[in-house]
Structure 1
Amino acid sequence: MSIVSRSLSDQAFEVIRERILSGEIPALAPIRQEALAEDLGISKIPLREALTRLEQSGLLRSLPNRGFFVPALSALEAEEVFALRLKLEPDAAADACLEADDAQHAAARAALAALEAVDGGDKAALATCNRGFHLLLVQSTRHQVTAQLVERLHLLADRYVHKHLEPEGRYRRADDEHQRLLDAWLARDPALVRALLAAHLQLTLDDLRLQLASTAP
């Protein structure tokens, strides 16, 4: 797959990110930069920029004499990431629903429609659209730092969301939860938004605890 774009690093970031989420690049396997650069049709400079960004996003790690690799999923990391999301995201969405305008309402409806239109077998696309929907709910002119922190947590959570969606039909349950959450957000009901989003995140974490039990230290 060759990349022809004015921003090679950005394009490489997106392609490699999707390969990580889909499992095409397996956990703990070293990233062979020369082979990957050749596959993408780019030089090693934009590739390394993309790999560094992916490391900053938590999707890659690097070690001396080993280079970049995808870290294994960790029950401990999932606990930490979702605990932080539970502390920040419900309140952020509750605050944002009070200031959202018609354009933001339309964007949130469109984001949920896009999520529901994704083929259930495309877990990487489901995770990406899921992130887009959640982030729209916390966009706020008054709490921009909070929204940026939530976005960072979502990048860290992406692989766990992908894992969470593995069981057949689970995304349909999430669709129902998302619809109720959107209805409350559009109705500008902060208490209900806070309660529904907290329950949604907690249920996801509970599922992940079972799925990742074997990876606990």
Structure 2
Amino acid sequence: METKLTWPSQRSTTPEGVYGVLRAAILDGTLPPGGQLREVQIAEDLGISRSPLREALPRLEEEGLVVKVPFRGRFVAKVDPREISDMAALRLLLEPYAAQLSFEALRGQQRPMLLQIMEQLHRAADENDIPASIDAHLRFHGLFYDFSGNDVLRSLWNSWETRLRLYLAADHRAYEDLHDVAVEHQRLADIALEGDIDRFRDELANHFPLALRHGT
């Protein structure tokens, strides 16, 4: 592993703390896609035993951020651009429908949750915190599926979320300013609170990069 891992300002050598450090390093690009995770090197970098590391790594596998290859070890998962573009095409069709079904809840009882997630996106931008921005980004879009009342839509989102997280890790690093991410989602949030499904559909189409929409 070429990059030396270090602890954030608050050090925690528990499995939870080690998981957090590795997860952040994957999402912010410190540990690049396809890179091998060598337990001995990581433990040496972080000054820990391998025990908490061995508890943390399976959690990253469950999230789809790490893959285990028999007889070779663990590697940071890679993004399949074609798969992401296929998901984008489906989302352009299904997400406006999910949003339309969820508008009543998000404009009513669940409005505080939508506003809270927007606060998280803006705060992540202020702190230039890529992992936090990615998490809030996914929570934002997940709201439409979660409150759609449609179990099939919820299941689809759950199956996409992990792979989208990997894509967003690269996507968010491409922004010169994470405030642009927050602003894009603020527009979607404002339209959702107005309940204008046609504007939401148009804004969502602008939200996705052209290459993703056409699978190139």
Provide the alpha-carbon RMSD of the alignment.
3.3
| Residue matched to 1:28 | 34
1:125 partner letter = A
Whole-Å separation in 2 of the counterparts to 1:96 and 1:204? 28
Q: Tell me the TM-score normalised to structure 1 length.
A: 0.73
**1:68 to 2:74 alignment:** yes
Whole-Å separation in 2 of the counterparts to 1:207 and 1:173? 23
| Residue matched to 1:156 | 163
Whole-Å separation in 2 of the counterparts to 1:168 and 1:119? 14
Count of aligned positions: 205
| Residue matched to 2:57 | 51
- 2:203 aligned to 189, 193, 196, which one? 196
- 2:12 aligned to 3, 23, 41, which one? 3
CA contact (8 A) 2:89 2:214 kept: no
Identity %: 29
Shift, 1:21, TM fit: 0.7
**1:179 to 2:186 alignment:** yes
Shift, 1:68, TM fit: 0.9
| Residue matched to 1:214 | none
CA contact (8 A) 1:164 1:204 kept: no
Tell me: CA distance 1:87–1:15, structure 2 relative to 1, closer, same or farther (3 Å). Answer: farther
Tell me: CA distance 1:52–1:84, structure 2 relative to 1, closer, same or farther (3 Å). Answer: farther
* Off by >6 Å, runs of 4+ in structure 1: none
Deviations for 1:85-121, whole angstroms, at most 9, x for unmatched residues? 3344332222111233644112211211221232374
CA contact (8 A) 1:89 1:150 kept: no
| Residue matched to 2:3 | none
Query: Secondary structure of the residue that 2:74 maps to in structure 1?
Result: strand
Tell me: CA distance 1:169–1:32, structure 2 relative to 1, closer, same or farther (3 Å). Answer: closer
Query: Secondary structure of the residue that 1:24 maps to in structure 2?
Result: coil
Shift, 1:126, TM fit: 2.2
Shift, 1:160, TM fit: 2.0
Whole-Å separation in 1 of the counterparts to 2:195 and 2:150? 17
Whole-Å separation in 1 of the counterparts to 2:87 and 2:56? 23
Unaligned runs of at least 5 residues, structure 2: 1-6
Tell me: CA distance 1:78–1:153, structure 2 relative to 1, closer, same or farther (3 Å). Answer: same
Q: Tell me the TM-score normalised to structure 2 length.
A: 0.74
